[in-house]
Amino acid sequence: MTATATAPAQTQARQEMLNAAARCFMDHGYASTSIDDVARSLGSTKGRIYHHYRSKADLFFDVYRTGMSMNFDVVVPLSKEPLPALDRLCRMARAHCRAMIVTQPFQRCVWEGVEMLMRGSTTPPQRATLVELQAMRNRYADVFRTVMDEAKREGTADFDSSSIALQLMFMSLNSPLFWYSERDGQSPDTVDRIARQCTVFALRGLGLNKEVLADV
């Protein structure tokens, strides 16, 4: 089998590991999750995981990094559309909130990674990696900040401090991370309705009125 042929299989194997790890970390937390737990979730041996990752921390950091990459993938293209800033901001906010739901296990790991950095309960190398990941998270926030500031200059958003407004907006958009759980038989459009409601609530704090948000 050629290297080209094995690449998709390796990518799939890595994604399966990340999916299992994200779910385990979300369900049990980083400290209470072991490589054995992830292996059992995969139905494999822990040797399969150690073939790709040297430690639980390395696996967790890759889950964190993947979660942030998922966010960049859905939001950055929207930020570059040839539309007024307000329209782009609405689309970005809704896409972000939807990502918090559909990739919830990964996003919960991002959140725990932020808390780990704040607590400082890590080794120096681990802290260095978390600092790099936080910089990635800051770059993502800056994508929103740029469009928010454009909307303000265009007169379609009204807020004093972009830093404060950004934090308050994310608090609303990120909230499904902590209370959403899929219910048996839920409507296919449930996720979109939740994302819309959270987005409308968040953007009203930027001075957008009900009429402006009607098409969010």
pLDDT > 90? residue 209: no
Please say whether the dihedral angle defined by the alpha carbons of residues 29, 68, 177 and 151, taken in this order, is positive or negative: positive
- pLDDT, tens digit, 9 for 90 and up, residues 58-108: 999 999 999 999 999 999 999 999 999 999 999 999 999 999 999 999 999
Q: Which among 166, 146, 158, 161 is positioned nearest to 212, based on CA atoms?
A: 158
Could you give the number of structural domains in the chain? 1
Q: Tell me what percent of the chain is helix, strand and coil, each rounded to the nearest 5.
A: 75, 0, 25
pTM: 0.89
27 part of a folded domain: no
Range of the domain at 70: 54-215
Across residues 152-173, what is the average pLDDT? 91
Predicted confidence at residue 27, as pLDDT, reads 95
pLDDT > 70 in the chain, percent: 91
30 part of a folded domain: no
4 part of a folded domain: no
pLDDT > 90? residue 190: yes
For the domain that residue 58 is a member of, what is the CATH number?
Answer: 1.10.357.10
Are the C-beta atoms of residues 62 and 85 closer than 8 Å to each other?
Answer: no
- pLDDT, tens digit, 9 for 90 and up, residues 103-134: 999 999 999 999 999 988 789 999 999 999 99
Determine phi and psi for 156, rounding to 5 degrees: -105, 0
208 pLDDT tier (thresholds 50, 70, 90): low
Are the C-beta atoms of residues 33 and 104 closer than 8 Å to each other?
Answer: no
Residues 6+ apart with CB under 8 A from 74: 95, 96, 98, 99
Higher-confidence position of 4 and 135: 135
Distance, in Å, from the CA atom of 174 to the CA atom of 140, rounded to the nearest integer, reads 14
In three-state secondary structure terms, 208 is: coil
